[in-house]
Amino acid sequence: MMSVQHVSFVGRSDSGKTTLITRLISIFRLRNIKVGSIKHTHHQAEFDKPGKDSWRHREAGSQQVLLLSQNQLALYAERIPEQSLADIVQEWFSDFDLVISEGFKNEPGLKIEVYRPSTGKTSLYTDPAFSIDALVSDQAPKSDIPFFGFEDAESICDWILERTGLNLR
């Protein structure tokens, strides 16, 4: 059994990461790739409203709560701080072909930076500490890093499938 393949989209805020990721997810689905996603946030996420039953379960000490409706489910679980992103991908998405994460610029693995110079924010790809593998931008880089424009969603998908080996399955 092959392990789940994973790619992180990283970049400064307002660079267009979420917009691009949603386009890519749609394309992967059309290509019959079972894709999941993980969104990183630096803010405390409020998963449920105080007083609701699932909130009360968590407040009582349940380490994992599955909220189930007719068409959806949400899983609330305590995160083990020492657990790496790769461990989380393998544990929670073991039956997926590909997981796309947003954020996690300091984690190892395949990373694509989404960068808009017009925001005035600095890029990550020029800093070797981030180990950026490709760049999506509205301006070509002054380096030999693989580069895609924002309109190149199909080519980005092809590149990811090639890099992860999913196109060989």
Helices then strands, counting H and E runs in the chain, come out as: 4, 8
What tokens does 59 get? 């407040």
CA 11 to mean position of chain CA atoms: 12
Residue 120 has pLDDT above 80, yes or no: yes
If we measure between CA atoms, which residue out of 2, 4, 3, 5 comes closest to residue 164? 5
Out of 36-45, 70-79, 82-91, 122-131, least confident range: 36-45
CA 108 to mean position of chain CA atoms: 13
The per-residue pLDDT for range 47-100, each reduced to its tens digit, is 677 888 888 888 887 878 888 788 888 887 877 788 899 999 998 899 999 999
In a domain, 71, yes or no: no
Out of 8-17, 67-76, 84-93, 144-153, least confident range: 67-76
For residues 66 and 141, the model is more confident at 141
In a domain, 151, yes or no: yes
In a domain, 74, yes or no: no
In a domain, 32, yes or no: yes
Question: Which CATH number does the domain housing residue 149 bear?
Answer: 3.40.50.300
Please count the structural domains in the chain.
Answer: 1
Rounded mean pLDDT, 22-49 = 84
Residue 163 has pLDDT above 60, yes or no: yes
Kindly report the average pLDDT of the chain as a whole number. Answer: 89
In a domain, 155, yes or no: yes
How confident is the model at residue 66, as a pLDDT?
80
Residue 87: domain span = 5-46+80-168
Is this model's pTM higher than 0.75 or not?
A: yes
User: What percent of the chain has a predicted confidence (pLDDT) above 70?
Assistant: 93
Residue 36 has pLDDT above 60, yes or no: yes
Gap between the Cα atoms of 26 and 5, Å rounded: 17
In a domain, 70, yes or no: no
In a domain, 20, yes or no: yes
Residue 28 has pLDDT above 80, yes or no: yes
Rounded mean pLDDT, 132-158 = 96
Rounded mean pLDDT, 116-134 = 95
In a domain, 63, yes or no: no
